[in-house]
């Protein structure tokens, strides 16, 4: 959509975002505020260091903060009803693979129960009136599980093998189920590894590497460095979510899942060396080779999104990293 058409579409639209303090939630909310939407953000924990991410949670007039958990059905239903929500972005989840391995039940509760709570609340409320016009659900490339055929396409089966992966397979299938069975305006986004300004989870390879280099330490790679991934700049992810909701409100693509990614494949060792090169430092990473329950190679076809949504990524990996590194220097490690 052209800039003015997009502004007209989102102006004063009532939007509910779960996972509002995550990297995608933060950047999406900031963009929605720029588009003059009225945003309600669900926040579970208020981590003091997340104040770095900006003052929008407390100070921006058009953001209302609801403190609660996805596992609390009454909280979710009350929020959607009382704020007369029109568009929902369900981004909230336990997103860290290693935490999923250590604590599978809490991951399942947040990711699976949290999803059916939200979808059931929408079903209940839309049975009275079609107030919610679009629900965009965050799945993951990991929902596909291991495949010897790559890239993943949307018609491949979902067969997550490990706790986080399985939780995303379930999230995805529940969303498609509610869309098909109850004709709800739900779309599913399957994205690769998202990075960019706003990510304070230093267990992830890009922010963890940047943090180490700023602190003049050797970056650490938990795997053997061979896993191949796509790294997806957060501004492209935000644009994909906006396009998806716009499509759903036009009553298109109900129940459809879309892959969104950068189209650039790189292994972990080469990624870390690329970041080292951008810093201009003379160092090498520490390779621990101790990660478990991770798929070796994952990358996505974005042909469907290109054809049905007219969407394509705008940021290369090099450009995204060039925009990301200064953010950590200026906002986090000052």
The pLDDT of residue 332: 77
pLDDT-based confidence at 292, cuts 50/70/90?
confident
The pLDDT of residue 56: 43
Residue 225 counted as domain residue: no
The answer to whether the beta carbons of residues 311 and 240 sit under 8 Å apart is: yes
Lowest mean pLDDT among 67-81, 83-97, 152-166, 303-317: 83-97
Residue 201 counted as domain residue: no
The pLDDT of residue 2: 57
pLDDT-based confidence at 331, cuts 50/70/90?
confident
Residue 156 counted as domain residue: yes
Q: What is the mean pLDDT of residues 308-329?
A: 96
Residue 283 counted as domain residue: no
Q: What is the mean pLDDT of residues 27-44?
A: 93
Distance from C-alpha of 176 to C-alpha of 96, rounded to nearest angstrom = 23
Residue 54 counted as domain residue: yes
Q: Which residue has the higher pLDDT, 215 or 54?
A: 215
- Count CA atoms within 13 Å of residue 143 on its CB side: 31
Residue 304: closest CA among 257, 262, 235, 241: 257
Given a cut of 80, whether residue 97 has pLDDT beyond it is no
Residue 292 counted as domain residue: no
Which residue range forms the structural domain that includes residue 176? 3-196+232-263+297-315
Query: DSSP labels for 167-207?
Result: HHHHHHHHHHHHHHHH---EEEEEE-EEESTT---TTSHHH
The pLDDT of residue 61: 57
Residue 213 counted as domain residue: no
Q: What is the mean pLDDT of residues 218-235?
A: 96
Q: What is the mean pLDDT of residues 74-97?
A: 93
Given a cut of 60, whether residue 247 has pLDDT beyond it is yes
Tell me whether residue 195 is one of the annotated catalytic residues.
no
Distance from C-alpha of 314 to C-alpha of 176, rounded to nearest angstrom = 28
Instruction: Report which DSSP code applies to 251.
Output: T
The pLDDT of residue 45: 67
Q: What is the mean pLDDT of residues 239-266?
A: 95
Q: What is the mean pLDDT of residues 157-185?
A: 96
pLDDT-based confidence at 38, cuts 50/70/90?
very high
The fraction of the chain above a pLDDT of 70, given in percent, is 94
The pLDDT of residue 299: 96
Distance from C-alpha of 70 to C-alpha of 75, rounded to nearest angstrom = 8
The pLDDT of residue 294: 77
Q: Which of 144, 152, 164, 299 is catalytic?
A: 164
Residue 185's CATH number: 3.40.50.720
Residue 24: closest CA among 244, 326, 277, 263: 244
pLDDT-based confidence at 66, cuts 50/70/90?
very high
Into how many domains does the chain fold? 1
Q: What is the mean pLDDT of the chain?
A: 92
CA dist 109 to 94, 99, 170, 261, Å? 9, 13, 11, 27
Residue 126 counted as domain residue: yes
């Amino acid at each position: 959509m052209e800039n003015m058409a997009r502004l007209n579409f989102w102006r004063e639209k009532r939007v509910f975002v779960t996972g509002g303090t995550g990297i995608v939630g933060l950047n999406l909310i900031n963009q929605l505020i720029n588009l003059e939407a009225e945003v309600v953000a669900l926040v579970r924990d208020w981590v003091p260091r997340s104040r770095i991410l900006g003052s929008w949670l407390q100070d921006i007039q058009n953001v209302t903060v609801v403190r609660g958990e996805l596992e609390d059905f009454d909280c979710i239903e009350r929020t959607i009803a009382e704020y007369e929500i029109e568009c929902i972005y369900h981004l909230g989840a336990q997103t860290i693979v290693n935490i999923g391995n250590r604590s599978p039940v809490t991951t399942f509760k947040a990711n699976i129960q949290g999803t059916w709570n939200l979808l059931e609340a929408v079903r209940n409320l839309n049975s009275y009136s079609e107030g919610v016009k679009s629900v965009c659900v965050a799945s993951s490339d990991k929902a596909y599980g291991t495949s010897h055929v790559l890239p993943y396409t949307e018609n491949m089966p979902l067969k997550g093998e490990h706790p986080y992966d399985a939780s995303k397979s379930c999230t995805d299938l529940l969303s498609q189920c509610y869309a098909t069975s109850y004709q709800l305006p739900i779309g599913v986004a399957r994205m690769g590894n998202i990075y960019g300004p706003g990510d304070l989870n230093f267990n992830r390879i890009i922010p963890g590497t940047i943090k180490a280099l700023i602190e003049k330490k050797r970056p650490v790679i938990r795997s053997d460095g061979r896993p191949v991934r796509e790294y997806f700049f957060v501004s492209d992810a935000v644009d994909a979510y906006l396009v998806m909701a716009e499509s759903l409100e036009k009553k298109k693509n109900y129940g459809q899942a879309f892959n969104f990614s950068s189209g650039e494949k790189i292994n972990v060792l080469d990624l870390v060396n690329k970041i080292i090169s951008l810093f201009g430092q003379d160092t090498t990473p520490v390779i621990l080779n101790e990660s478990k329950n991770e798929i070796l190679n994952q990358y996505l076809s974005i042909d469907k999104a290109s054809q049905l949504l007219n969407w394509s990524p705008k940021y290369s990996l090099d450009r995204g990293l060039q925009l990301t590194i200064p953010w950590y220097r200026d906002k986090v490690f000052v």
